[in-house]
Amino acid sequence: MTWLLIFVLAGIVLLNRYVLLEPRLPIRLPSFIRQALQYSAPCLLTAICGPILLGDSGLNGLSSSPYTYAALFSIGCAWVIKNMLLSVLVSLAGFYTLLYFVG
């Protein structure tokens, strides 16, 4: 059920982004709306990652959670490495390495 929900939500987001941002389609949006839509992916990612990082213990468990350190490592990778794919791969490798040694 979870995988089905993930794929359905991914399809909805992809369809919305395609319809609203594809330049060959006859739909023309004002520039401020197109600019606002560029922030939808980071906002969505924040909404997904927030509950994972906070967990059941809220802010009290942030310092002991490997997810917190993995998130900080990922932010650092994205800041230093400007290539999105390489940044994601390095972040995933760092996260699983962290889980292997800490968890």
Whole-number pLDDT of residue 82: 82
Cα 51 to its chain centre, rounded Å, is 13
Give per-residue pLDDT as tens, 45-65: 777 767 766 666 666 666 667
**Cβ contacts of 2 within 8 Å, gap of 6 or more:** none
Within-domain flag for 7:
yes
Residues 25 and 65 in one domain: no
Query: Is the overall model pTM greater than 0.85, yes or no?
Result: no
* Counted domains in the chain: 2
pLDDT at residue 91 tops 80: yes
Within-domain flag for 69:
yes
Within-domain flag for 15:
yes
Within-domain flag for 43:
no
Residues 29 and 69 in one domain: no
Element (H, E) at 38: none
Whole-number pLDDT of residue 9: 85
**Cβ contacts of 99 within 8 Å, gap of 6 or more:** 66, 70
Host domain of residue 101: 55-103
Give per-residue pLDDT as tens, 11-57: 888 887 777 667 776 777 778 877 776 776 667 777 776 776 666 66
Residues 59 and 103 in one domain: yes
Within-domain flag for 47:
no
Within-domain flag for 34:
yes
